Amino acid sequence: MKYVYDIDRMSALLYQIIAQHAKPEAVNWLQQKQEVWRQGNVMQQFNLTFSAIPRFTGKAVVDINDTTAAELHAIIPFFTVQGWPLHQLVRAWWLLQLPANDKAQYLKQIEVLFDTAEMNELAALYSALPLLAYPDSWTLRTAEGIRSNIGIVLDAIMLNNPYPAINLDRAPWNQLVMKAIFNDKPVSRIVGLDVRVNPELSDVLCDYAHERWAAGRTVNPMLWRLVAPFMNETSFNDIKRVWNSANNVEREAAALACARTQYAPARELLQQDPVLKAEIDQNLLSWEILSAKLN
């Protein structure tokens, strides 16, 4: 299957958002480039336009309203362009102008863009993963990107991007989450975080916490969100340590973990603090609220 969504509807919506944010001369430039591309389909021209986009569109930050956000989600669940630089949005839209009828040719052309991309181009390509045709063809590229140490590339893959949760196997998915934890990324913005949680990830995170503690370092409180579903006697000892922390956010994380597990001793521990339990029951304390405190 080429596309798993309505590409014409998405292309039109992205162009609408671009027109709302870009200056008229930038929109005119895009229209001219689109017409040249349609008439000639010269790949060199396509690539040159992809690279030149920031010089003509600028770097304004995209800000969409709730209606537009809902429209995007209706086409691709959990996909958003909120907060993107304008040039990144335009590059994503430009990729939709590339014909995908010939799979081998399409894959070759996208791979060339990846191979020759500089930092901002890479970020645009990874942000556009949910938009690319033949989605199962980009898993190795995604795994490669996860190994990157470039901040904006990692953000493009990890944050508000529905592609990894849908398409990655367990090992690269776990690597993505672990790297987000290592780099103090806002893990609550990882799409599918709770759906893709698994016991192997939970075990590795506990080992990581032990290493951090042994070195006298702190542990990201959001880590316990991923341990909670698989809590056992060993990890419960870790939760008790966090529960007794003098840091309020860490203690709140322990309480949330206790509230989100079926492990009986943890549920009993939560009963010892009626205030925290009440906050959780009334949704005054959640992982999202905790994440906001951290970020």
pLDDT of residue 41: 80
13 to 64, 92, 156, 195, 292: CA distances (angstroms): 11, 12, 20, 29, 30
pLDDT of residue 126: 98
pLDDT of residue 152: 96
SS (H, E, C) the chain: CCCCCCHHHHHHHHHHHHHHHCCHHHHHHHHHHHHHHHHHCCHHHHHHHHHHHHHHHCCCECCCCHHHHHHHHHHCCCCCCCCCEHHHHHHHHHHCCCCCCCHHHHHHHHHHHHHHCCHHHHHHHHHCHHHCCCHHHCHHHHHHHHCCCCHHHHHHHHCCCCHHHHHCCHHHHHHHHHHHHHCCCCHHHCCCCCCCCCHHHHHHHHHHHHHHHHCCCCCCCCHHHHHHHHCCHHHHHHHHHHHCCCCHHHHHHHHHHHHCCCCHHHHHHHCCCHHHHHHHHCCCCCHHHHHHHHC
Tell me how far apart the alpha carbons of residues 81 and 19 are, in angstroms, rounded to a whole number.
14
Q: 168 with 139: CB under 8 angstroms?
A: yes
How crowded is the C-beta side of 140, counted as CA atoms within 13 Å? 4
pLDDT of residue 1: 62
Tell me how far apart the alpha carbons of residues 96 and 86 are, in angstroms, rounded to a whole number.
16
**Cβ neighbour number for residue 286 with a 10 Å cutoff:** 16
**What amino acid is encoded at 258 in this protein?**
C
pLDDT of residue 59: 81
Q: What is the radius of gyration, based on Cα positions, of the chain?
A: 22
**Ranges of residues in the chain whose predicted pLDDT is under 50:** none
